[in-house]
Amino acid sequence: MPTDTDAYRPRNDPPRVLVLSSSPRRNGNSRVLAESLAEGAGEAGSAVELVHLPEVVSEGLRDCRECRGPNGECTIDDGYRDLFLDKALAADALVYATPLWWYGLSGHLKNFLDRMFCYISEGCPEAERVMSQLVGKRAALVISAEESNFSARLAVVHQMQETCRYLHHTLVGIVVGTGNTRGEVRDDPTEPLVWARELGQRLFLIRTTDYQLDSDRAAAVWGGPERPPPGHWR
Ligand SMILES: Cc1cc2nc3c(=O)[nH]c(=O)nc-3n(C[C@H](O)[C@H](O)[C@H](O)COP(=O)(O)O)c2cc1C
């Protein structure tokens, strides 16, 4: 009976947070949001690493039948293997930072997600171990976009929500900032940098709820300090 994630405990001490910054603009808007979130997570005591995804993952998914080596391993020669197997699997939380591109997520982040397939599909000798380490993480999402239109971001939110559901990850928060020129998201009066930082601080405290008719729950949503507040959508 799904209730909430009050009992969530990270595997590592301190908890590990991997931030995947997926815009090629190093000083761009989604990167600024990602850095704020990373700062907040560090303030809360997490061990944080921020990766500039376009520099590490240069290739998209191919036909696995053509590029698996004789032992079944993916032979695409870029930084994906180390990033995914050493850093992403070891993390307690994955943070995705993306600009809105054509009402979807960046191609670089899409490549990161697509390439997981090489390591979890039947042809991969490590698939079972990979899957057991992949499940049970927290996730957060930050998005920057030029348009302020709320629905423009919904495809990204939906894709990441479903991806997290599939992976047994809990998407604990989303922050959206509006801006177009590099770093302009700092001028957004809704203060997305402040919210991103706060999301980072509370990454492992946020209680997410997903009730069913018969779920046990308190009538009041906003309890005392012993009951952390629910999800974070800004
Ligand atoms: C290829 C491309 C497609 C884009 N598509 C959209 C879009 O559909 N809607 C939108 O609001 N902004 C769109 N933008 C603008 C970016 O989302 C916006 O400038 C964002 O803040 C860039 O983030 P970054 O600095 O992290 O790259 C697009 C930009 C590029 C380069």
How many angstroms separate the most distant Cα atoms in the chain? 58
Residue 153 parent element (H or E): none
Nearest CA to ligand 1 atom 22: 99
Q: What is the pLDDT of residue 219?
A: 85
Helix (H, G, I), strand (E, B) or coil at 137: coil
Q: Locate the ligand 1 atom nearest the alpha carbon of residue 25 and give its number.
A: 27
CA pair distance 192, 183, nearest whole angstrom: 12
Q: What is the pLDDT of residue 231?
A: 67
Q: What are phi and psi of 72, to 5 degrees?
A: 90, -5
Q: Go through the domains of the chain in sequence order and give each one's CATH number.
A: 16-233 (3.40.50.360)
Ligand 1, pocket residues at CB < 6 Å: 23, 25, 28-31, 99-103, 144-147, 152, 179-180, 182
Distance from the CA of 180 to the center of ligand 1, in angstroms?
Answer: 7
Q: What is the mean pLDDT of each run of 10 residues along the chain (234 residues)?
A: 60 96 98 98 98 97 91 92 98 98 98 96 92 97 95 96 96 96 97 95 89 89 65 74
The pTM (predicted TM-score) of the whole model is 0.94
Nearest CA to ligand 1 atom 4: 101
Q: What is the pLDDT of residue 5?
A: 56
Distance from the CA of 41 to the center of ligand 1, in angstroms?
Answer: 26
